[in-house]
Structure 1
């Protein structure tokens, strides 16, 4: 899966569109400061449920944070649960 990324000075998102250009999955974040982002929303369309897409989105966000040396505040309930379950994500947890 090839996720797209949109980012500006205030917020950003990783997302997936279907062949018709309709959004079918996304994880969004808001910039808190120059070194911290707040993961505030994860959504996956029913057509993709059960395929691990939410985790793939989180992995892309975590990879981005590691590359940019950012910390993530997990406000989104999915991200919060995954940060508690998976110790390998703690290096980017704020």
Structure 2
């Protein structure tokens, strides 16, 4: 379903266009910054963003990757899914989020 790359995971439609993605550039060492969660308008309200976050959590957990979250959706997702916060690390460094 989702394709994982070094700093992004995504979902393609039948024409090969990205219709959902999560951007997670390297923050430092083995820590990624979940900077942007995007779902195409045509798919919104179907739980795709939540499924993407769960898939990313499982991928990071399996690979031993830690993360910070600066995307408002990702922050809210972790607040709702407290049992998934084991991959989060705290950072005192300022981090910009993508709008």
Do both proteins adopt the same fold according to a TM-score greater than 0.5, normalized to the shorter chain? yes
Match of 2:52 in 1: 57
Q: In the comparison of the two structures, how many residue pairs are matched?
A: 89
Match of 1:33 in 2: 28
Residue 79, structure 1, aligned to residue 70, structure 2: no
C-alpha distance in structure 1 between counterparts of 2:11 and 2:18, whole Å? 6
TM-score when scaled to structure 1?
Answer: 0.88
What's the CA shift for 1:78?
0.4
Unaligned runs of 5+ in 1: none
Higher strand proportion? 1
C-alpha distance in structure 2 between counterparts of 1:63 and 1:76, whole Å? 18
Unaligned runs of 5+ in 2: 90-99
Q: RMSD between aligned alpha carbons?
A: 1.0
